[in-house]
Amino acid sequence: MPRPALYSSSRHTRRSPPEPVEQAPVPTAQSATGTDVTLPNPSNQPSTQAANANLSRRHLRTLWALITLLATLLLYSLWLHQRPASHRITQEDIDAAVLRTLETTTPPSAAARAVEAISPSIVRVVGYSRSKNGKEEVERGIGTGVVIVDKGVILTNLHVVAGADRIAITFHDGLETTASITGAQPENDLAVLQAHKVPDDLFAAPLRSTQDLRPGDHVVAVGFPFGIGPSASAGVISGLKREFTSPEGKRQLSNLIQFDAAANPGNSGGPLVTLDGEVVGIVTAILNPTSARTFIGIGFAVPIENAASAVGMPPF
């Protein structure tokens, strides 16, 4: 008869698993296939020392990285403090800057600005004639001209160039050339010249109608009085629609602008200019009852409307 199995009357008590003991990680190596392979650890003590060495090196690298970061932040902070703070420009700043400029800088006068604007268009005109023996040239007249078309079209007085065998022109930049008479208006003592050579940057003078001129308006006369120049003199419009008869009685001119800016022989043919640098007339004569032929306060200019019609320019 089989023997009955025997059972214990008490249940087996479970034992708690032992607490894990921290051990240094076992170093691994990478196989040729890229997977980590656990290296054998024959002795636990050497593995712990290697782990501690690796940890020290990591701490050292972390420490140096932290020091570098702090140094960078410190330098950036110093740069921010030393950099001038940005300032938004206000209208008060602009006004103050303008005021300082006006207080420390003397701007050119209105007459000076007008002369500067018109100077590139001014030319010296000299007429030459042959001597009696025909071997020498004799200077017969010096005057002024003004370029009104940048291709070398010049206005001057007819009496400056009439009868000349050769007309010499000197431009503002010093270029010297000859010119031919291409048109004349004897009733206004005007001649139109064409220069045979012109500067590359030749500047034509701006022209302005005389319709709004009034006595008292400021003007400037620019030319070569007695061959000296270019010279400038300032004055005002003294009157309009004046008439003039030359001392010899050979010229009678009408509808002239009277002005008191100093003009002398050599100014003939030069421009009468507003303070905006615009030509309103061509200086043509001075009034002097004596034989001195010098300025005593009355000059005359042909209105630019007449002068422009001499070259076929449309009226203003």
87 tagged catalytic: no
Tokens representing 198 are 């012109």
- Residue-wise DSSP of 173-239: TS-EEEEEEEEEEGGGTEEEEEESS--TT--PPPB--STT--TT-EEEEEE-GGG--SEEEEEEEEE
Annotated catalytic residue, options 121, 233, 238, 268: 268
Distance CA 144, CA 193 (A): 12
Q: Residue 272 burial (CB < 10 Å; 0-12/13-18/19+)?
A: buried
Q: Is 172 a catalytic residue?
A: no
The continuous run of DSSP H or E covering 300 comes out as strand 299-303
Give the H or E element holding residue 67.
Answer: helix 44-82
- CB contact set of 219 (below 8 Å; sequence gap of 6+): 234, 235, 236, 237, 259, 261, 272, 273, 274, 275, 280
* Alpha carbons 189 and 187: distance in angstroms, whole number: 6
* Chain position carrying tokens 């003592």: 189
Q: What is the DSSP letter of 2?
A: P
Contacts of 155 (CB under 8 A, 6+ apart): 145, 146, 148, 190, 191, 192, 193, 269, 282, 307, 310, 311
Taking the C-alpha atoms of residue 110 and residue 274, their distance in angstroms, rounded to an integer, is 10
The active-site residue, picked from 121, 172, 189, 260, is: 189
Token pair, residue 15, equals 């034992």
Active site residue 93: no
Identified catalytic residue from 121, 159, 231, 233: 159
Residues tagged active-site = 159, 189, 268
